[in-house]
Structure 1
Amino acid sequence: MTTGLDRFTVKVNDARITCDCSGAAYWHAEKLLVVADLHLEKSSCFARHGQLLPPYDSERTLKRLKTVVEKYQPQTIIALGDSFHDNQASLQLSEKNRQLLEDIITHHEMIWIAGNHDDEKTEFTGQWTHEIRIGSLLFRHEPLAGTQKGEIAGHLHPALRISRRGMSVRRFCFASDGNRMILPAFGAYAGGLDLSHKAFYNIFDKSALIACLLGKNTIYPIQKRSFFSQ
């Protein structure tokens, strides 16, 4: 395993995957960038239901995506589902944000994994599928229980709280046990589910679990500790 200031590389089913501090993962051997749970237009969805959020989530998310795409220059981008917060979200994008997204996907092979929020196709170009296997890895939205070697998924929005010297901090994170990986949510307004939650009980080999916590410009890998409440 190697580490740098803004990234940390782990092996997932023999594939070397770089966890970037942005929340995106990069598979250098395949020139493949992976992001999960963009939840574009979450704010407009909430507004339609009477709950007002600052309407800046899509712009922040897409600008960060553009930055990480420019950083790694991938050939292919996989979005692991829930890219749009609901089936009206793509229609709610402002012209500016629509152009941001178009600029990203026009110059790359785009693979959209259908999630539970966005299970219908949008007008944006790219391949839509429920899962796709590339080499030793299988990309899907929701992780399946039990041993799933090579699975790369999103959906659960992993996060971890750590405490030191009486202080506590909570960060979104990548989670992997070497067999599979779950990515953090990339969306600006997406929440997080702590790794101690029962949803993770049948997902990982706890003894091999690594969490890569996202800092502002740094990623913090944490190993050899218990993430799960007894």
Structure 2
Amino acid sequence: MVPFSFAGQEWRWVAGRKGGGQALFWPAENALLVADLHLEKASAYARTGQFLPPYDSRETLGRVAAALRQTGARRVFCLGDNFHDAEGPARLEPHAAGMLAALTRATDWVWITGNHDPVLAPAGTWGGMVTEALAVGGVALRHQASAATAAPELSGHYHPKLRVRVRGRQIARPCAVRSERQLVLPAFGALTGGMDAADPAILAALQPARAIDAVLAAGDRLVEYPLWRG
């Protein structure tokens, strides 16, 4: 895990297995934060004739389980777009459903709804609490960054990736995007893709700001890459 400071608190970045996105561990709350799982994305695409390997939910939930083992977290905050669409929970195959039920039983699990799952209602089926937004330890948790927030804020939605050219090759890695008071987490799901961290839509979502940086863990060190300066 790689130490990281934000909003006057200490955090830890946790790399996803098999090159997946990064989760954020919050020691003060003993909590794991993940964004944009997009469970059952492959089955959603299959309904329109676009066939992808159908095991994305298993892989994503396996990443969450591995991060929980690594951190020992007892709480999980999912920052929206938990399923790829409103019918995703009904399509979850039995093995993945069992994995999810075990995770929600073992932790204090909170589902924050996103634009892909605005009426997600897993409580009673998978367990956990469902809410549109939440304030924990002086930090606002929601799916999409809000310029109106006065408190420090964690969100998801944009799936940011840092794209840089190294020795003639372009390399893209999931990253967070940070301003002084806002932090956009990378997508954690197995089939989530990504938006350039310097995309104007992301930079606009984190205004007003004096500085905006891409942040990611690389091995045992923190990489910070400037994206915008006011």
TM bracket, shorter-chain basis: 0.7 to 0.9
Q: Distance in 1 between matches of 2:6 and 2:81?
A: 23
- Offset from partner CA, 1:140-190 (integer Å, 9 cap, x none): 001113665410000011111112232220111122234221111011000
Among the aligned pairs, what percent are the same residue? 33
Q: Which of 187, 209, 212 is the aligned partner of 1:209?
A: 212
Cα distance, 1:54 vs structure 2: 1.1
CA contact (8 A) 1:61 1:187 kept: yes
Cα distance, 1:205 vs structure 2: 6.7
Cα distance, 1:10 vs structure 2: 2.2
Q: Which amino acid aligns with 2:222?
A: P
Q: Distance in 1 between matches of 2:193 and 2:220?
A: 18
Does structure 1 residue 16 correspond to structure 2 residue 31?
Answer: no
CA contact (8 A) 1:172 1:214 kept: no
Give the TM-score normalised by the residue count of structure 2.
0.88
Q: Distance in 1 between matches of 2:208 and 2:172?
A: 22
Flag structure 1 segments of 5+ consecutive residues without an equivalent. 1-6
Q: Report what 2:128 is aligned to.
A: 126
Give secondary structure in 2 for the equivalent of 1:11.
strand
CA contact (8 A) 1:207 1:224 kept: no
Q: What do you get for the CA RMSD once the two structures are aligned?
A: 2.1
Q: Report what 1:115 is aligned to.
A: 114
Q: Which amino acid aligns with 1:221?
A: L
Give secondary structure in 2 for the equivalent of 1:69.
helix
Does structure 1 residue 67 correspond to structure 2 residue 70?
Answer: no
Residues 105 and 83 (structure 1), Cα distance of their counterparts in 2 relative to 1, 3 Å cut: same
CA contact (8 A) 1:114 1:141 kept: yes
Residues 148 and 197 (structure 1), Cα distance of their counterparts in 2 relative to 1, 3 Å cut: farther
Cα distance, 1:25 vs structure 2: 0.4
Does structure 1 residue 135 correspond to structure 2 residue 134?
Answer: no
Q: Distance in 1 between matches of 2:60 and 2:217?
A: 15
Cα distance, 1:104 vs structure 2: 0.8
Q: Which amino acid aligns with 1:131?
A: A
Give the TM-score normalised by the residue count of structure 1.
0.88
Does structure 1 residue 223 correspond to structure 2 residue 224?
Answer: yes
Give secondary structure in 2 for the equivalent of 1:155.
coil
Q: Distance in 1 between matches of 2:179 and 2:89?
A: 35
Cα distance, 1:44 vs structure 2: 0.5
Cα distance, 1:17 vs structure 2: 1.8
Q: Distance in 2 between matches of 1:198 and 1:103?
A: 40
Number of aligned residue pairs: give it. Answer: 220
Does structure 1 residue 79 correspond to structure 2 residue 81?
Answer: no
Q: Which amino acid aligns with 1:15?
A: Q
Residues 163 and 103 (structure 1), Cα distance of their counterparts in 2 relative to 1, 3 Å cut: same
